[in-house]
Structure formats: C-alpha cells, structure tokens
Amino acid sequence: MTLDRLPLLASGKVRDIYDLDDRLLLVASDRVSTYDVVHPNTIPGKGAVLTGVSAFWFDKTAHIVPNHVVSYTDGVPDEARGRGVVVRKLQMLPIEAIVRGHITGSGWKDYQATGKVSGVELPAGLLESQELPVPIFTPSTKAELGLHDEAIDFARAAELLNDVAPDGDGDALATKVREAAIALYKFGHEHARSRGVILADTKFEFGLDPETGQLILGDEALTPDSSRYWPADEFEVGTTPPSFDKQYVRDWAVASGWDKTPPAPEIPAEVVKGTQERYAEAYERITGESLSSWLERTA
Ligand code: ATP
Ligand code: MG
C-alpha cells in the first residue's frame, strides 16, 4: 500500500491523518512552519523526530496511562516509515490538557493580566519562565482549524466533558484527565531534567475507547511541537528562553526580513541543514539514542 491510495481524513499544519476504519494512520510530515505559516520546502527527517520522540514517551509512560499506539511498522507504508504510526481510533475529548511547570508563553501573558492562568490563582511576583511551586493543569478548548484555542477553567472543562463522559459525569472525567496529565508531565519533566533539558510545559490530547469508555492518551506525546523544551544550561529566569528546535529557523526567518505573512520564503540549503541537525540533536538529547537507531527500528 502507498500513501496516495489511502483515504486522507485531514491534513494539519504538520501531520496528515489517514482513515483505516477502526484505526488511523498518523504521518508527521517534514513540513515546517514559523509564525504559523508553512514554508515551501521541507526539513528532511523532522517528521521522524516528532514520531520518534512521541514513541519514546508513549512507551515510557504506558504504566501511567494507556495510549493509542498500535504499530510503527504494520500498516505503515514504506515511504512513511519512521514518520508514521497506526493508532486506535478514539473518541477525542473536546479539550486540550495543558500542564505548565514554568510560567511562559500565553500563560505568562494571562498571569500578568489577571494573576491567574485558566482560573488557577498563582503566587504574586513570579518572573517570566519561573518554575511554579507545583505543575498546574490549564485546559483549553480545542478550536476548529484556523481558530485559536482559548484557556478555560476546570469547571468549564468539566462542563464540556459532560456530553462525552460515559456516565455523563464530566467532573469525574475532568478530574481523571487532570490527574493523568499532571502525572505524565511530572514523569517527562524529571526524565528530561536528567538529560539536561527543561520541560517547561506541554499539551496532551486524550480520548475514550469507543467500546469500553476507558481514558486513553492519543495524539502526540511530549514532542517539541506539543511542548516547550529548553536547554537547562541556557535557562535564565526573567527571560524568554530559546526553544530547543525551532529557534534557529525562526531566527533565520526574522533576519531574512520576511514580514511573517504568507507566503513564507524558501529556506536556504544551509539553514535546512542546520535545522536538520538541531532536530536530530533534540531527538538524541531527549531519548539518549541516535536518530538513526529509530530509523533502523522502523525501517
Ligand atoms: P496543528 O497543526 O495545530 O497541530 P491539528 O491539531 O488540527 O493542528 P494535527 O495535530 O495534525 O492537526 O491533527 C491530529 C488530529 O488527530 C487532532 O485533531 C487530534 O485530536 C486527532 N487525533 C489524534 N489521535 C487520535 C486518535 N487516536 N483517534 C482519533 N483522533 C485522533
Ligand atoms: Mg495537533
């Protein structure tokens, strides 16, 4: 089977999703976007890094919460090996389960304006990027394509889950989601820290097994796309730390004079190469393995 013979269900900025009846094939492309605009050329190997990092974490966290992974080889066409994964089709929950261990990004903006993030009251006087006393669950809506996700408090998340919770108890389901998400974050944070990397925050997407109603971790797990990873040795409270993977290509995009509106410019060969190296390094920093070993395992 080749990819072009499979029914394409949806195509995000980065991933293509194919329908396999009760399963899905998720394929991370090598496309790269900066400032939400996709560039015309690709970063070869980037998709494999995203899928490989996810695979690493799904495997390591299966004792915390079961996940949707079926196979990285069976049902994955040759051309998508390394980038593709066959997963169980879940009933996805209509919220994004965000956990923050440091105050940064949109959380930092909300905190500055209100002293809170997603309704969670935080201590006064925090500096940008500072570590929080404990990681917090800050859910958001899952916006339709093109719209921006909106931070919501726990009560609103529970309300949104009323319709999908097996027994109509959105509050109980939201509580389960919060506990699982925080446990996953803590595990990821501790592991990353041991490898010289700070996991500042991350987003999970959960779903329900359509038959049993069991809570399952879906989508991607703790990838550089769904998370903020900072090199620990460059971390400085009170600043916006550089993100591990995209900073380099973003710096180039700004320096090129591009005004950040579509179309995005072609990335020159040497910047493609530098970006590839940084993605491979991100894989190696996080997993402790070489990217080629992942490619060999899934070939
Ligand atoms: P973005 O480019 O901002 O990430 P997106 O989230 O719409 O946009 P993708 O991440 O490529 O694009 O899409 C993955 C989609 O597949 C999401 O809507 C996600 O909720 C859904 N999904 C992930 N895992 C499963 C699963 N096991 N069953 C059903 N749907 C899933
Ligand atoms: Mg997504």
pLDDT at 285: 94
Is 153's pLDDT higher than 90? yes
- C-beta 207 within 6 A of ligand 1: yes
pTM: 0.94
Facing residues of 40 across strands?
none
Q: How far does residue 165's CA lie from ligand 1's centre (Å)? A: 20
Of ligand 1's listed atoms, the one at least distance from the Cα of 87 is 27
Query: For the segment 76-120, what is each residue's pLDDT rounded down to a tens digit?
Result: 999 999 999 999 999 999 999 999 999 999 999 999 999 999 999
Across residues 145-165, what is the average pLDDT?
91
Q: What tokens does 52 get?
A: 């490989």
The ligand whose atoms approach the alpha carbon of 13 most closely is 1
Residue 55 host element (H or E): helix 46-61
Q: What is the DSSP string of 170-235?
A: HHHHHHHHHHHHHHHHHHHHHHHHHTTEEEEEEEEEEEE-TTT--EEEES--S-TTTEEEEEGGG-
Report residue 113 CA to chain centroid gap. 26
Determine which residue's CA is closest to atom 5 belonging to ligand 1. Answer: 12
The closest residue, in CA terms, to atom 17 on ligand 1 is: 219
Cα 147 to ligand 1 centre (Å): 14
In ligand 1, the atom with minimum distance to the C-alpha of 225 is 4
In the reported structure, the alpha carbon of residue 219 is separated from the centroid of ligand 1 by a whole-number distance in angstroms of 6
State yes or no: pLDDT of 145 exceeds 70: no
pLDDT reported for residue 144: 74
Spatial neighbors of 262 by CB under 8 A, at least 6 apart, are 37
Residues 212-227 pLDDT 10s: 999 999 999 999 989 9
| pLDDT value of position 142 | 92
Rounded distance from Cα 72 to ligand 2 centre (Å):
19
How much is the average pLDDT of 2-14? 93
Pocket test for ligand 1, best of 25, 208, 219, 227 (most atoms within 8 A of CB): 219
CB atoms under 10 Å from CB of 290, counted, come to 12
CA of 27 to the centre of ligand 2 (A): 12
Share of the chain above pLDDT 70, in %: 99
201-217 b/e with 16+ CB inside 10 Å = b?
Answer: bbbbbbbbbeeeeebbb
Binned at pLDDT 50, 70 and 90, residue 146 comes out as low
114-144 per-position pLDDT tens digit: 999 999 999 999 999 999 999 999 999 997 7
Q: What ipTM describes this predicted complex? A: 0.96
Give per-residue pLDDT as tens, 238-254: 999 888 778 889 899 99
Position 279 pLDDT exceeds 80: yes
Residue 209 Cα to ligand 2 midpoint, Å, equals 19
Which residue, chain included where needed, has tokens 């949707």? 68
> Which residues, 6 or more positions from 250, have their beta carbon under 8 angstroms from its beta carbon?
34, 35
Distance from chain centroid for Cα 213: 24
For residue 91, what pLDDT is reported?
97
The ligand that comes nearest to the alpha carbon of residue 28 is 1
Average of per-residue pLDDT across 147-161:
93
